[in-house]
Amino acid sequence: MAQGQNEEEWATLMRAAIGGDSAAYQTLLQSLSNVLRPSVRRGFAQAGAPLGDVEDVVQETLLALHLKRNTWDPSQPLGPWVRAIARHKLIDALRRRGRRVQIPIDSVLDTLSVQEDNSGVDRQDAERLVDGLAGRQRDVVRAISLEGQSIREVAERLNMKEVAVRVALHRGLKTLGAQHQRDQDE
């Protein structure tokens, strides 16, 4: 947010607004929203969050300012007070949304491919472990992990929905992980 002249102007407008001048209040809100919008946009971008909620955070900030306007000390500058409210509203929005970045697995499958180890020992061990899985889990894990098929290909071949293939893969890998942990503990 800008400093200097805007700070003084905002404080003057806020004092007038608290005194009942609705035109001053409207001018203040418009000026603040024009400054808040790019600031909130930067906050979302720095957090790696989509920009879809920028306007909501700006409006929440202005609403909080409206509801708490009588708590502002007229002898103090308005900018730091508004920035603190905006920062808290931005943090609240990011917390609600979570800091997870969601990327569909299909869009990164090519980057997950692993160079095959030609020693054969690891492959035999992996096949032995996978053979210990039951039914569909075994078929899904073998097709995706050992044969390199895509989720879509496995779903079509096994006449399953893609989501069911993902669930079977997840459960199969979880079972293999648990088996590996038991082997390590022994």
Q: Are residues 138 and 118 in the same domain?
A: yes
Q: What is the pLDDT of residue 60?
A: 92
Please identify, among 32, 63, 97, the residue that sits at the C-terminal boundary of a domain.
97
Q: Which two tokens stand for residue 186?
A: 């022994």
Q: Are residues 27 and 71 in the same domain?
A: yes
Q: Are residues 120 and 160 in the same domain?
A: yes
Q: Are residues 61 and 139 in the same domain?
A: no
Q: For the chain of 186 residues, list the mean pLDDT of each consecutive stretch of 10.
A: 69 91 92 91 82 87 89 89 90 75 56 51 73 86 84 90 87 81 72
Please identify, among 97, 130, 161, the residue that sits at the C-terminal boundary of a domain.
97
Q: Are residues 69 and 124 in the same domain?
A: no
Q: Are residues 9 and 91 in the same domain?
A: yes
Please identify, among 97, 120, 149, the residue that sits at the C-terminal boundary of a domain.
97
Q: Are residues 159 and 133 in the same domain?
A: yes
Q: Are residues 111 and 88 in the same domain?
A: no
Q: Are residues 160 and 178 in the same domain?
A: yes
d(CA 15, CA 151): 63
Angle at 66 between CA 61 and CA 70, to 5 degrees: 125
The number of domains in the chain is 2
What range defines the domain where residue 170 resides?
105-185
Residue 14 burial (10 A CB sphere; 0-12, 13-18, 19+): buried
Q: What is the pLDDT of residue 5?
A: 63
Give the helix, strand, coil percentages of the chain, each rounded to 5.
75, 0, 25
Give the domain CATH number at 152.
1.10.10.10
d(CA 78, CA 75): 9
Helices 54-68 and 22-47: crossing angle, nearest 10°? 140
Q: What is the pLDDT of residue 30?
A: 92
Count of other CB atoms within 10 angstroms of residue 153: 14
Q: Are residues 112 and 68 in the same domain?
A: no
Q: Which two tokens stand for residue 128?
A: 């032995």
Q: Are residues 10 and 89 in the same domain?
A: yes
Q: What is the pLDDT of residue 1?
A: 46
Give the domain CATH number at 72.
1.10.1740.10
Judge if pTM exceeds 0.75: no
**Amino acid occupying residue 19:** G
Give the Å distances, CA to CA, from 142 to 16, 90, 115, 134, 151. 72, 45, 17, 11, 12
Q: Express each pLDDT in 129-179 by its tens digit.
A: 888 888 888 888 888 888 888 888 889 999 999 888 888 888 888 888 777
Q: Are residues 87 and 114 in the same domain?
A: no
Q: Which two tokens stand for residue 1?
A: 């947010």
Q: What is the pLDDT of residue 142?
A: 87
